[in-house]
Structure 1
Amino acid sequence: MSMALPVALLASVALLLLLVVTAWSVPFFWQDLMFFTTMTRSSLRCRRRLAARPPVTLLDVFRRHVRLRPQQPLLIFQEQIYTFEDIERRSNRAAWALRRRLGLRRGRTVAVFLPNVPEYLWTWLALAKLGCPMACLNCNVRGRALRHALEAAEATAVLASPELREAVEEVLPHLRRDGVEVFYLSAASPTAGVEALLPTIEVAPAEPPPAELRAGVTGDSRALYIYTSGTTGLPKAAVITELKLMMVASLGRVCGLRPDDVVYTALPLYHSAGLLVGLGGCLDVGATCVLRSKFSASQFWPDCRRYNVSVIQYVGELMRYLCNTPQRADDREHGVRMALGNGLRAEVWKEFLRRFGPVTIWEFYGATEGNAGFINYTGKVGAVGRANRFIKLFAPFELIRYDVEEEQPVRDGRGLCIPTKPGETGLLVIKITKNTPFHGYAGDSQKTEKKILRDVLVKGDAFFNSGDLLMMDSEKFIYFQDRVGDTFRWKGENVATTEVEATLGLVSFIQEVNVYGVAVPGCEGRCGMAAVRLKDGATFDGDELYAFTEDTLPPYAAPRFVRIQAALETTGTFKQCKTNLVKEGFDPGLVRDRLFFRDAARRSYVPLSAATFAAIRDMRLAL
């Protein structure tokens, strides 16, 4: 016993010295370790809450804040201020009304078809109080895509806004045939046969519905469906469980969000960033959210000053818009201390800090349906995060070589994927484990299976295929490079080329169409372009195509450029070739085919002149 203590002490000292030496020799060691500790605490907190009996969900966390700070503003929208207690009472009334009017029971899915309005928040909480998952419909979807989205989530009711009346009425006969009930969350209804539900909600009891209505809800229960575009061309309903909801909502806390913060978001609530990170983060820590219906570059900083905003949410394009506004003497006169978002390119990042002051930027990377992601906790400009040696033990990922032409990973002689080297672009794949499960999409198991890549490092393993190309440098910082497959990103939205192709294929003079994204100077993401083969004897009608796309496609999905070709290039398996088209872009000096430009002022697709191209190239003409 007398010798055991010195030996143990020596071992401890040796271990400590080893840690110190390692910390000095390995760059960012302590930052990696500290962030790993923060993430571990956050993960354990979420899992511990949901492992309790009964489980403590994000709804329960919100109600705890109601008790602690009932009169603190939770939501500010235009001139309206809603305290935690206000939202609690409104969501209680909505829960009672929905249960009685729709006969809702636990597990029944209800879709919301709403813009950014306060109703979004209290409807979400109301459905949670009934144990009902909410399907968050993209306000831009129409027709067949809208019906498909409802079918995928097996939604039996839709709560819509009168602002979306035309979209509702277009599919209303089909929904009635399928037994889907439709209501407006408003005082009056503009559509015959569709009830306005707000009067019923306003007279419902303000007391909370009994907890047993959601008895049986666990961390694995489905809380939300959030839609993401994919290569199928139709919306895919990503499954968000109660555990994933709480984990994503805790992202703000991980980055330093506090109860006294005021968070400003103009991001759409049908996306995970706005709903889960923004509103969800405020529910988690008890902060205040300032919600704007749509982003306005001219009103952004005046809003931040008016509402004493301390935290802003962004996507890369939003920050670019801010940097492109005319400089003002009061650019740095604001109280914003932190920005939280994704898609911020290095040049915009630097310009934003130079112009608007020392705001701490937390850039993150993640897919709505993904099983893990990255957070840039070091502030490295342009990076989305780091390959943290500690976190990777619990959330293994790889960047693997990817053949863009063949649109598949490169494999070695054993049939396994090949990890990339530092500085080499590769496909991000994340291992599917108990700690990092992949819940996939509702409605079609084949869509879920297509996102799983097997036999990656060893035979029999399974990884989530992100569909994104990233690069890791020699210091293990990770940078987003591009998207693969048929989907590209424009104006903060994912555009599925196959969906646009199917729509344009209905135009009277179009025989074949190939849609792809092209880079535009000064713009994030890729802009839509369509290579078109006309029907024999037909002529291109720019007026007709403009009117058709305006009626059938969301604004961000309508191609800005059209290229007329005698024949569309395909592979031996009849897949359309996009690589050369993407490289050639829309430069009339390089492309011999006829090119057309979507001119909003003339409401037509007009010939793309060298002068117009130069204006776009020199960023004098905004798209």
Structure 2
Amino acid sequence: MDMLLYVISVILASILIIPLVLRTFYPYLWIDVLYCGELLRILATFISRRRRRPLFFVLDRFLEQTAARTHKPFIVCGDETYSYTSTDKRSNKIANALQAHPGYKAGDTVALFMGNQPAFMLTWLALAKLGSPVALLNHNIRTKCLLHCFNCCKATVLIAASELKEAVEDVLPSLLEQGVTVLLMTKHCDTPGVQSFSDEVDEASDAPLPRSLRSHITFKSPAVYIYTSGTTGLPKAAVVNQNRLLTALAVLSSIGVTSSDVIYLNLPLYHTAGFMIGFIGSIETGSTIILKRKFSASQFWDDCRKYNVTVVQYIGEVMRYLCSTPKRENDKDHKVRLAIGNGIRADIWREFLSRFGNIQVREFYASTEGNVAFVNYVGKIGAIGRVHFLQRMLFPYVVIKYDTERDEPVRDANGLCVESPKGETGLMLSKITDLAPFVGYAQNEDQTERKRLRNVLKKGDLYFNSGDLMRIDKDNFIYFQDRVGDTFRWKGENVATTEVSDILTISDCLKEANVYGVQVPGHEGRIGMAAVTVREGVQFDGSQIYNHVVRYLPSYARPRFIRKQNAVEVTGTFKQMKAKLVEESFNPRRIQDCLYILDDNEKSYIPLTAQVYDCIMSGNIKL
């Protein structure tokens, strides 16, 4: 009897002690197990879909949802509401109108030049039904950049929003010279060479399109081209193939989003986050999308209350803007339970939760063209994700030592990369495999090859170079540290310094321009600054340069500060020197050169005084 009591006591003690031990030494074990289970479920679903015949694509998932959720709202934008069925029928009308057009044949690549509006989504679905790859053009780009983005995906048709008519007209001669069909989403257009398209859509049939139109598509076929600024030159068109798009279906469902959720989408649809997570992710979950044409901090929470929003998307700047709005008594009066995005600072994260309530923040890391992603499914403030054995097994990655001065990986005597110890910052690389491929950029093999890194851990292996410096702590949380090379991030956009430099030097005033990003207290990322020299015999003209950058560059890429020098410093191999410039930043008390700041009110670059600098540093002037 005593032995039995002893055994029972030991068992009871174990039952009580084991959870305590696990909570103390393995606090995230249960969350890890649940998440790994979710990953396995997603993988099983993906494999099952890959085996279906005929081939199963994102469009097929949309058609499944339409059959299951006939009258449920899919897209709500202002006064416009489209149910799953009306979305399907309207996209059929667009597809039938386009198919009847003499300048188009099924399967042709089409460039979509629109802002956030239902027509963007409807047109993409229409083109998917026709088997056409779609280039998602940034509606902020103009002239040279617009032509470049259009040409590098070999599109034969441009479909543009009516409000972008002037931007289209700026490049129209070049488009017509190439035999491009230009369609404007309007009922009437008097510009020769530009055809109105909305009237044709209204008159077209809403009959379904035959599957045979897309019978030529495979999983390796391009689905969309999404543009990303790299370290050199103009934007690159990252090829997102049908297989990659199919995997994007799982993003929202993997973090618990369901058909009962209402998703607030205010990020640009031409970007990966807005398109692949907000739009494509909602197709998988069968959710309702509240589409916002443009982000507005003052309207954000009112919209959430009006539409009973439960899930919001963000980039770091969005969260900061929300926290900067005047406090209200009803700040916590909403139904938002989940926020998904990237780029939020730890201090803003804490402030957001304190002010707006118990919202689960799911910070993630991914890139348009990359083959690795991390999700902070635990909710650890400051981390971009958590790494675990299953992910490392399925999608191998490594953090290696990186020499930021020489701008290259550190290699050992055998020519192999050196892995960074846990807790130290290094360059994130992910192995290129069949399960984690790297497709690259359209019409740009040079830039594609630059993102490949060979002989990493052993001779002959091949990895994708993320270009991002990361750190993994002892608890396996991963933190973003910085970007390498000549790209910086501002307002949620990647800015290529050489692209901005090229634009500056085609002005009548500037001879050379060395562009870089500098940090500003209270702001995410780095803001653009340029060290410039003026052409011989020409005076620095702030108004002329202002007009030039406004004409050629989107707002986030325009250098906010200009430093006028007698000569741009270069290395022995004629590479522009940036490190010292970045360090000196834009402090007029530290810099002898003339400094200027972009002033939208004056429509000019005006002298940057010590007083203005102090206002920026104190936060009285927001950039």
Task: Give the alignment's TM-score, normalised by structure 2.
Answer: 0.95
Aligned residue number for residue 596 of structure 1: 596
Q: Distance in 1 between matches of 2:194 and 2:50?
A: 38
Match of 1:245 in 2: 245
Q: Deviations over 1:297-336 (max 9, x none)?
A: 0000000000110000000000000000010000000000
User: Which residue does 1:227 correspond to in 2?
Assistant: 227
Q: Which amino acid aligns with 1:109?
A: T
486-495 vs 264-273, greater mean Cα deviation: 486-495
- C-alpha contact 1:487 1:494 (8 A) present in aligned 2: yes
Query: Could you tell me whether the CA contact under 8 Å between 2:103 and 2:181 is conserved in 1?
Result: no
C-alpha displacement of 1:495:
1.0
Match runs of 1:259-408 below 5 Å: 259-408=259-408
Are positions 1:33 and 2:33 aligned together?
Answer: yes
Aligned to 1:606: 606
Distance 1:264 1:40 in 2: 28
Amino acid paired to 2:100: R
Query: In the alignment, what sits opposite 1:10?
Result: none
By how many angstroms is 1:536 displaced? 3.0
Q: Which residue of 1 aligns with 2:547?
A: 547
Shift of 1:548: 1.4
Cα displacement (A) at 1:556 = 1.1
| Alpha-carbon distance in structure 2 between the residues aligned to 1:417 and 1:190 | 60
Matched-pair contact (CA < 8 Å) for 1:47–1:243: no
Amino acid at match of 2:122: W
Alpha-carbon shift at residue 104 of structure 1 (Å): 4.2
Partners of 2:619 and 2:190 lie apart in 1 by 42
Residue in 2 that maps onto 1:580: 580
Which residue is 1:165 aligned to? 165
| RMSD over aligned Cα atoms | 1.8
* Stretches of 4+ aligned residues off by more than 3 angstroms: 18-27, 102-107
Q: Against the structure 1 CA distance between its residues 414 and 300, is the aligned structure 2 distance closer, same or farther, given a 3 Å change threshold? A: same
Contact 2:438–2:464 at 8 Å: present in 1 too? yes
**What whole-Å deviation, never above 9, does each CA across 1:549-572 have from its counterpart, x for those lacking one?**
111211111110000112211111
Asked whether the equivalents of residues 528 and 557 of structure 2 are also in contact (C-alpha less than 8 Å), the reply is: yes
CA distance in 2: counterparts of 1:454 and 1:493, whole angstroms: 28
**Partner of residue 5, structure 2:** none
**CA shift for structure 1 position 44:** 2.4
Deviation per residue, 1:517-567 (Å, 9 max, x gap): 000111111100000112234321111111111112111111100001122
Q: Does 1:563 align with 2:584?
A: no
| Cα deviation digits, residues 569-599 of structure 1 (max 9, x gap) | 1111111111111111101121121111111
1:620 aligns with 2:585: no
The equivalent of 2:196 in structure 1 is 196
Matched residue type, 1:300: F
SS of structure 2 residue aligned to 1:289: strand
> Aligned equivalents of 1:107 and 1:402: distance in 2?
43
Find the counterpart in structure 2 of residue 513 from structure 1: 513
| Alpha-carbon separation, structure 2, partners of 1:103 and 1:549 | 35
Identity %: 47
Give me the whole-angstrom Cα distance separating, in 2, the residues matched to 1:167 and 1:484: 33
* Aligned position for 1:454: 454
> Could you tell me how far apart the structure 2 residues matched to 1:429 and 1:218 are?
28
List per-residue Cα deviations over 1:259-283 (Å, max 9, x = no partner). Answer: 0110001100000110110011111
- Correspondence 1:141 to 2:141: yes
> Quick check: 596-605 or 317-326, which moved more?
596-605
| Contact 1:105-1:213 within 8 A present in 2 as well | no
Provide TM-score, normalisation by structure 1. 0.95
The alpha carbon displacement at 1:67 in A equals 1.0
Q: Secondary structure at the match of 1:437?
A: coil
The alpha carbon displacement at 1:114 in A equals 0.4
Counting matched residue pairs gives 607
Secondary structure of the corresponding residue to residue 153 of structure 1 = coil
**Distance in 2 between the 1:435 and 1:23 partners?**
34
Q: Deviations over 1:415-467 (max 9, x none)?
A: 11111122221111110011101011111222211110111111101111111
Instruction: Give, in whole Å, the separation in 1 of the partners of 2:115 and 2:25.
Output: 52
Residues 124-173 of structure 1: per-residue CA shift (max 9 Å, x gap): 11111111111101112222222221222111110001211222111111
1:77 counterpart letter in structure 2: C
C-alpha distance in 2 between matches for 1:399 and 1:19: 33
Which amino acid in the other structure matches residue 339 of structure 1?
A
Structure 1: state its 5+ residue gaps: 1-17
Counterpart Cα distance in 2 of 1:250 and 1:313: 16
Q: Match of 2:253, as an amino acid? A: R
- Structure 2: gaps of 5 or more residues: 1-17
- Post-superposition shift, 1:232? 2.5
Q: Which amino acid aligns with 2:425?
A: T
Say which SS state the counterpart of residue 101 (structure 1) adopts.
coil
Identify the residue that residue 209 of structure 1 maps to in structure 2.
Answer: 209
TM-superposed deviation, 1:106: 4.5
Structure 1 residue 246 displacement after superposition:
2.0
Structure 1 segment 43-82 matched on structure 2, within 5 A:
43-82=43-82
Q: CA deviation at 1:50?
A: 2.8
Secondary structure of 1:482 counterpart: strand
Q: Helix, strand or coil for the counterpart of 2:208?
A: coil
Secondary structure, in 3 states, of the residue corresponding to 1:489?
strand
Q: How does 1:168-187 map to 2 (within 5 A)?
A: 168-187=168-187
The amino acid of 1:88's aligned partner reads D
In structure 1, how many angstroms separate the alpha carbons of the residues matched to 2:471 and 2:436?
Answer: 22
1:66 Cα deviation (Å)?
Answer: 1.0
Report deviation, 1:20. 12
Deviation at 1:105, TM superposition (A): 4.1
Is the Cα–Cα contact under 8 Å of residues 46 and 243 in structure 1 kept in the other structure?
no
Partner-residue secondary structure (3-state), 1:268: coil
